[in-house]
A = this chain, B = another copy of it.
Amino acid sequence: MENKIYTIKDIAHMAGVSAGTVDRVLHDRGEVSEASLRKVQTVLKEIDYHPNMFAIGLAAKKKYCFICLIPSYTEGDYWHSVSEGIERAARELRPFNVTISYIKYTHADEESYKEACNTLQESKADAVLIAPNFREQTLSLAQHLKELAIPYAFIDFNMEGAEALKYIGQDSYMSGYIAAKILMRDYKAGQELVFFLGNNRDNPAEIQMERRMDGFMKYISDEYPGVKVLEFVLNKTDTACDRRMLNEFFATHPKATFGVVFNSRVYQVGNYLRESNKRMDALIGYDLLQKNVELLKSGEVKYLIGQRPALQGYQGIKALCEHLVFKNPVMPVKYMPIDILMKENIDFYFEFE
């Protein structure tokens, strides 16, 4: 357990070779005789050598170009948080000559995704962070990257079959299960449940929602098997239409006072409630979008489940960097915590700092 910090010079001295040779061995870029190689390796085995990161950062001339394939976003939405995490990683890694750029696509728009994938294939990246969308394009992209030995990581959603360096995201099934467990605390016999769903069922991102639903239903069927579950499809954009439909829905289902929104747009329901001066007994949703958080504070939304989007972006980039730049091993899967937020603890919540 020596505490001494060894430098390349130390190793060179001990092995009886020069620093240059040690460096060649460490980065095995050949041009080293068998004899020197063995001498250096012997020394390396004996000591606990950790290169000085600061010297590496300072000296490195190699530029790394990371590209992120993520949905485009507006201020305060989910992918905005992801990009904040990415930006944070970018700042930390800038001294290592890592530069990060983006290729954005429209979420759930197949044409847009396809185009983005193509753009990515044409650009030359050293590593890629992907928020996957459509399966087929993703797999073909993964294939292409694998052939070029370009490491790639997935965030948010794991595309089975495309073996990425790393997947970072939440266990959707369990987060659905927890949503149910939290929500049903307030349940009293006779009340009905509403699932507010998105209207684009062809969307691959719906797979995630469905896993959440499965988890949710698992809890319901275990603990509250008799509960009546209604479904209401929210229009992604047409608020006026939603409003009419919701009015009608709540008029015809007066007992439907427990709501779940499986995507991150619980604000659609929350805003409706606020505007029409209604309340549900309990409404739960996902993700801490600004709009969602406001409604949590004002009470229309009772619970939010957080999945640390910024941390996902941050860790995704860091993982690629660990692998590519620092040559450190990387765990293939990292599940994010399932954070439970209510009016009372939302103010103390943060992902960083």
Contact = CB atoms under 8 A, between A and B. Distances in A.
Interface stretch (A121-129, A171-179, A201-209): A171-179
A151 to B, nearest CB: 19
Given A58-B52, A95-B52, A185-B185, A345 B353 contact: no
A344 interface: yes
A88 interface: no
A170 B347 CA distance: 12
B350 A95 contact: no
Contacts of A54: 53-58, 95
Contacts of A336: 348
A44 interface: no
Interface in A141-174: 170-171, 174
Interface string A334-353: 11111110101100111001
B349 A334 contact: no
Stoichiometry (number of copies): 2
A186 interface: yes
Contacts of A315: 353
Contacts of A344: 174, 177-178, 181, 338
Contacts of A181: 342, 344
Given A53-B95, A337-B350, A178 B342 contact: yes
A9 to B, nearest CB: 14
B345 A340 contact: yes
Nearest to A345: B338
Contacts of A58: 52, 54-55, 58
Interface string A261-298: 00000000000000000000000000000000000000
Interface in A17-70: 52-58
A340 B344 CA distance: 12
Nearest to A339: B339
> Which 4 pairs, one residue from A and one from B, show the smallest C-beta to C-beta distance?
A185-B185, A54-B57, A338-B345, A54-B54
17 contacts: A5-B94, A53-B57, A54-B56, A54-B57, A54-B58, A58-B58, A170-B348, A178-B342, A178-B344, A178-B345, A185-B185, A185-B186, A335-B348, A336-B348, A337-B345, A337-B348, A340-B345
